[in-house]
Structure 1
């Protein structure tokens, strides 16, 4: 999260010359950063490097080396419980809201800090009770969702279910071929070009 904020802060400084010199660079760079799949991410970087002759050690290649910390295509399958890149600092502010302010002296901080922690623990205990006292409402019969429902407290499961529903509703498949032994599918997202869909082979068990 912190690295992503650092990248955005210094992006203009490093890319200003390219944006001014090439009218299409900003749009191509934006497409690369916002790639939805790893395949798109890799192919668009190859296009950028080929067109603008980026060498090893350039800003773009260094950002590629740090891709696991910021790239949407790589991080999209990671669950962050609804927290955005700016959410961390906002979360800290909300944690102490009502207990401390900008005028609180360091030697006065301990008591309101303890009160904030006690209040958060009480809230978490209440969430634990609500979770144990009720069963999660599942939107599908998929075992992944059922497993998440048994592990997450109610609030976190609601966040997970929202992402899960959006992701699964956007998935589809096409049958490529079918035989007595195997069915071949192409699987992907509805809003992604089919050239980036995955091939899946499903072997049929023989009846005895």
Structure 2
């Protein structure tokens, strides 16, 4: 049965499992049923499309055009470098018009759904660093140590519980280290001291890399 995990990120940057769905198949009706459950359990959730998968499809969707390299370069610049909604919209529409792509169904659908994947549109929501499905894929790999294609439903429930316990133990271990040890200050700035006191070790290291590198 297809396994659909719902994955989040804790205060150490570790992947955590909120829940999962076991699906009878992977058709549209099944996913509608699954996401209706999400809407009820997580009514404030915001849905986002995987940026990595979208950009990966550029050769497949646009590779037939003779000026593909130019289109690819222009599109990447628009997607990753636009600073405002207006910048993105204006530059995108200019791109599709200049390259004769106004009738391209894939690009039209991407523009319609731009609120769900374009960095400048989704940046107003806190995503804990999640912009792709990498967390879910790594969680699937994590479960490979607990279940396989021959696992029965009863065994799955038991192994799912064991997997959750493993995640909890990892978080508790990180909590212990953050509470009982201190990462030395490197620059002796006052704000650095504030971060040292407020953040877990992993978040402090992430902050340091962002500020000083």
The TM-score normalised by the length of structure 1 is 0.56
Residue in structure 1 matched with residue 134 of structure 2 by the alignment: 87
Number of aligned pairs? Answer: 164
Superposition CA RMSD, Å: 3.9
Map of 2:153 onto structure 1: 106
1:12-51 paired onto structure 2 within 5 Å: 14-16=61-63, 19-20=65-66, 24-35=70-81, 37-38=83-84, 41-42=88-89, 44-51=91-98
Aligned to 2:11: none
Residue in structure 2 matching 1:127, options 174, 183, 199: 174
In the alignment, the residues of structure 1 paired with residue 127 and residue 52 of structure 2 have an alpha-carbon distance, to the nearest angstrom, of 16
Distance 1:24 1:96, change over 3 A: closer
The equivalent of 2:163 in structure 1 is 116
TM-score, normalised by the number of residues in structure 2: 0.55
Shift of 1:25: 2.6
Contact 1:82 1:159 (8 Å CA) reproduced = no
Gaps of 5+ in 2: 1-47
Deviations 1:77-127 (A, max 9, x none): 977656562412333134334322333222211222222211211111111
Q: Deviations over 1:21-47 (max 9, x none)?
A: 777333322322332644864553253
Residues 62 and 68, structure 2, Cα contact 8 Å, conserved in 1: no
When Rg is computed on C-alpha atoms for both structures, the one with the higher figure is 1
Q: What do the CA deviations read for 1:5-61 (whole angstroms, capped 9, x no partner)?
A: 5634665565455x2477733332232233264486455325314424665996435
Between 22-31 and 50-59, the greater mean CA deviation after superposition: 50-59
Q: Which structure ranks higher in relative contact order (CA pairs < 8 Å, sequence separation ≥ 6)?
A: 2
Alignment gaps of 5+ in structure 1: 167-208
